[in-house]
Structure 1
Amino acid sequence: MGDHAMMPQWPEFGDDEEKELLEVLHSGKWGSTSGDVVATFAQEFAEYQQAAHAVCLANGTLALAVALRAAGVGIGDEVIVPPYTFIATASAALFVGAVPVFADVDPDTHLLDPAATEAAVTPRTKAVIVVHLAGRPADMDAFTALGARHGLTVIEDAAQAHGAAYNGRPVGAIGDLGTFSFQSSKNITAGEGGAVLTDSAELAGAVYSLVNVGRVPGGGWYQHESVGYNLRLTEFQAAILRAQLRRHPQQQEVRERNAQLLTSLLSGVDGLQLAPDDPAITAHGRHLFMLRLPGRREAVLQSLTAAGFSRASSGYVPLHRNDAVRREAQAITARLGQPYPEPACPHADLVSSDTIWLPQPYLLGTESQTHALATAITEAVNA
């Protein structure tokens, strides 16, 4: 089985991160209100994703809540979200008093289905959160058109999609706002952290105020023009992120090469389904490599663990079946006398029963490690 036991650990770091951290330490400026490292990283990340503005903050979960609030989404408004995503996509709507409405996913891609989204629109709908799951960009042409048709704010949840691009345009500012995460597993990480991107100066200003206790850029310390949270990133986190951002292009080349190799090695395996190619995806974020194995998932997962690939996982339980999310949403609708939008998401139910995730460090290995992974999957499926 070769050297697969030595599959890369995550995160990858070195002298660069150490140097950046020590510079912040010795500066004595540890917070972004006194230092400029967060501001510098925000500018670098905005340029990387080709957005006009970036605001950094504590995490990707609150990035979504801030994006919704900046867009004026509030109590009783409906926000259409996919059920096959991390809980934050739905809980962010609940944090601002809005109701997450689940529209089904496309089973071939695991991504929010534009037709199902359109069918879920009501007069109360204010926004749609489109998730670029696993790093695969969703159909942004369809979603921006849908947003324009219905007057909806389109928010890209790009927590897993650093460096991804759709029709040559990096994700994050294709819609009205985009959110990113720098949590431990992410392809650019500082342990925790997040960012909100937008091309709108007005939305960027609203995001800045929400992150900075209602202050406005250039305003006084106690000049609170709106009610905002305090969600600032530290200079230490931004120091690590600057170094991680510099590593990202080379790491993505490795991930992409291994993902292509893995795809070609697995494409002929009976009973294993991979997402189809889409020419609109000009760069895949490669945060997860996802396989569908109808009827075989548990057995294959056990075999992979036995073969030393214990980080393979069965992924999400769909959110439309999460009692906590349903309870919170029903409490809001009941209090306001609104109907609770009862979700029907058979495709999300289906893919959550047969999908396996391979996390991104598995795409950072050598060619021989990637061959070993493909062999282990093939043997597990054929067993």
Structure 2
Amino acid sequence: MSRRSRCGAWWWSCRGSRDDSGQLDLADAARRITARTKAVVAVHLWGIPEDMDALAAFAQERGLMLLEDASHAHGAPWGGQRTGSFGTAAAFSLNGPKPLSAGEGGLVATDDSEIYYRVLLHGQYNKRCRREIPADHPLAEYAVTGMGLKLRIHPLAAALARTQLHRLGNYLTDGRRSLSACAQPCRTCRASACRGCRTGRFLPGTRCRCGTSRRARRAAYRAVPGRSARRGRHRR
């Protein structure tokens, strides 16, 4: 947000759809567009892709640039195509709990050279700016100074992210397997299970929707052959 403000841009948040999908309400977005609107940003929240077919048509119809915030959705597919590959540019976060983590930092994916040059300048990649921005380009005079900011990722974090790229598919597979396990029903009422029902780790005072207490759920968990109170804990 602060970077956009520095560039003189402003943004409007739009409502999510009413169907619990978390996707953008395009009718609300349409009401917020003015003659000064330049772009629409698809936010793939919690790994759930936006309806990119509808958003791409929405942006094209109004002559807007389509950008993607894929910070939560590394590798998430929409219609057989990965998030981050629909818009003119896409941003990915690499901090702590993200599917692809480098500790801290992020990356931008784009096939637009003009945006690429500006990303280099805002990151203040001094040597790369001098090497990659053409000498006759209007932005070449800023290759040394950049935009007065230093937003580049730490080299070690970049190296960590790069070495994990080929493992991203396995990370996503493991994540889907864990979510599937979390969705297993409560052994008492068959309602959707909480994390404790699955792993044996129960928070004090918590109950399933059927009213099953923490103590009863722990007892039911221990009753499964081969399990103990410690079984199911996360191990590295």
Question: What residue in structure 1 maps to residue 29 of structure 2?
Answer: 117
Tell me if the contact between 1:140 and 1:175 (Cα under 8 Å) persists in the aligned partners: no
Structure 2 CA distance for aligned equivalents of residues 264 and 150 of structure 1: 44
Deviations along 1:67-99, whole A, 9 cap, x unmatched? Answer: xxxxxxxxxxxxxxxxxxxxxxx5553343322
Of 163, 168, 191, which aligns to 1:269? 191
SS in 1 for 2:142: coil
Of 203, 206, 211, which aligns to 2:115? 203
Deviation at 1:234, TM superposition (A): 2.8
Tell me if the contact between 2:124 and 2:146 (Cα under 8 Å) persists in the aligned partners: no
Q: Larger % of helix: which? A: 1
SS in 2 for 1:100: coil
Tell me if the contact between 2:22 and 2:48 (Cα under 8 Å) persists in the aligned partners: no
The one-letter code sitting in structure 2 at the alignment partner of 1:224 is Y
Tell me whether 1:224 sits opposite 2:178 in the alignment.
no
Structure 2 CA distance for aligned equivalents of residues 181 and 147 of structure 1: 24
The one-letter code sitting in structure 1 at the alignment partner of 2:199 is A
Question: What residue in structure 2 maps to residue 313 of structure 1?
Answer: none
Tell me whether 1:244 sits opposite 2:164 in the alignment.
yes
Tell me if the contact between 1:261 and 1:370 (Cα under 8 Å) persists in the aligned partners: no
SS in 1 for 2:208: helix
The within-5 A match list for 1:188-337 is 188-212=100-124, 215-218=129-132, 223-224=141-142, 227-228=146-147, 229-263=149-183, 265=185, 269=191
Structure 1 CA distance for aligned equivalents of residues 95 and 61 of structure 2: 34
In the TM superposition, structure 1's runs of 4+ consecutive aligned residues that sit over 6 Å from their partners are: 373-376
Deviation at 1:370, TM superposition (A): 7.7
The within-5 A match list for 1:99-114 is 99-107=10-18, 108-114=20-26
Structure 2 CA distance for aligned equivalents of residues 263 and 119 of structure 1: 38
Structure 1 CA distance for aligned equivalents of residues 201 and 62 of structure 2: 45
Deviation at 1:159, TM superposition (A): 0.6
Of 93, 104, 108, which aligns to 2:4? 93
Deviations along 1:184-233, whole A, 9 cap, x unmatched? Answer: 1212112111111112233223322332367354468x952585233222
Tell me if the contact between 1:262 and 1:374 (Cα under 8 Å) persists in the aligned partners: no
Aligned residues: 196
Structure 1 CA distance for aligned equivalents of residues 11 and 159 of structure 2: 35
- C-alpha RMSD of matched pairs (Å): 3.2
**Greater gyration radius:** 2
Tell me whether 1:170 sits opposite 2:82 in the alignment.
yes
Of 65, 73, 96, which aligns to 1:153? 65
Tell me if the contact between 1:188 and 1:244 (Cα under 8 Å) persists in the aligned partners: yes
Structure 2 CA distance for aligned equivalents of residues 227 and 257 of structure 1: 44
Deviations along 1:116-143, whole A, 9 cap, x unmatched? Answer: 2122111121111211000111011111
Measured at CA, do residues 186 and 122 of structure 1 come closer, stay the same or move farther in structure 2, by a change above 3 Å? Answer: same
SS in 2 for 1:197: strand
Q: TM-score, normalised by structure 1?
A: 0.45
Structure 2 CA distance for aligned equivalents of residues 188 and 195 of structure 1: 11
Tell me if the contact between 1:208 and 1:216 (Cα under 8 Å) persists in the aligned partners: no
Structure 2 CA distance for aligned equivalents of residues 130 and 256 of structure 1: 23
Structure 1 CA distance for aligned equivalents of residues 52 and 83 of structure 2: 9
Deviation at 1:170, TM superposition (A): 0.9
SS in 2 for 1:128: strand
Question: Which blocks of at least 5 consecutive residues in structure 1 are unaligned?
Answer: 1-89, 273-303, 310-368
Measured at CA, do residues 91 and 230 of structure 1 come closer, stay the same or move farther in structure 2, by a change above 3 Å? Answer: closer
Structure 1 CA distance for aligned equivalents of residues 200 and 65 of structure 2: 41
SS in 2 for 1:122: coil
